[in-house]
């Protein structure tokens, strides 16, 4: 029974790793770990001059995190200068244990995702509609979405 459990766990880990090589390659191991498991997650609506919103318990956050580290979520990269993103949102993943964080920027109109210190961004076309919906439910409006008002 234990051998079967070990084999099943090994297969599961291998499968998930194979589904995330490109994305984790972009994020880097430490950033990918924070995106997946940080205790504190904050949202910054870059169009508003408001304080960071704690979204650590937000509906859909688990799926949002998983989407960011799966290869299927992205259609490659594009140079930052070519993409010309207009960042509407920033999500900060904070590891309180190590006092480190990872900031991820989002251009919800163009479906782009990126790190502030990278010269290229990810094309998130496969998940762009889901990202707009997730951010809209958190109150971040774009031209193609409206903020969710709870009605």
Q: Which two tokens stand for residue 38?
A: 């940080």
With beta carbons less than 8 A apart as the criterion, state whether 146 and 94 touch.
no
Q: Does residue 6 have a pLDDT over 60?
A: yes
The per-residue pLDDT for range 74-101, each reduced to its tens digit, is: 999 999 999 999 999 999 999 999 999 9
Q: Which residues, 6 or more positions from 26, have their beta carbon under 8 angstroms from its beta carbon? A: 74, 77, 115, 118, 122
24-71 pLDDT tens trace: 899 999 999 999 999 999 999 998 877 899 999 999 999 999 999 999
Domain layout of the chain by residue ranges: 2-137
Domain 2-137: which CATH number of 3.90.1720, 3.30.1490, 3.40.50, 1.10.10 = 3.30.1490
Looking at per-residue pLDDT, the higher value among 144 and 41 belongs to: 41
Q: What is the pLDDT of residue 146?
A: 44
pTM for the complete prediction? 0.82
For residue 8, what pLDDT is reported?
63
Q: Mean pLDDT over residues 110-137, rounded?
A: 96
Starting at the edge strand that comes first in sequence, how are the strands of the sheet with 89-95 ordered? 53-54, 40-45, 89-95, 100-107, 112-114, 120-123, 77-79
Tokens found for residue 80: 């930052």
CA distance 86 to 110: 8
């Amino acid at each position: 029974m234990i051998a079967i459990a070990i084999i099943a766990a090994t297969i599961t880990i291998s499968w998930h790793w194979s589904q995330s090589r490109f994305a984790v390659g972009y994020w880097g191991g430490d950033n990918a770990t924070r995106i997946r498991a940080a205790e504190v997650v904050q949202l910054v609506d870059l169009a508003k001059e408001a304080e960071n919103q704690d979204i650590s318990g937000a509906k859909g956050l688990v799926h949002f995190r998983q989407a960011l580290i799966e290869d299927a979520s992205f259609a490659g990269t594009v140079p930052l200068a070519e993409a010309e993103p207009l960042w509407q949102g920033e999500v900060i993943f904070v590891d309180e244990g190590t006092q480190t964080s990872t900031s991820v920027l989002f251009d919800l109109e163009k479906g782009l995702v990126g790190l502030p210190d990278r010269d290229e961004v990810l094309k998130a076309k496969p998940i762009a509609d889901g990202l707009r919906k997730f951010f809209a439910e958190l109150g971040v409006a774009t031209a193609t979405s409206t903020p969710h008002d709870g009605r």
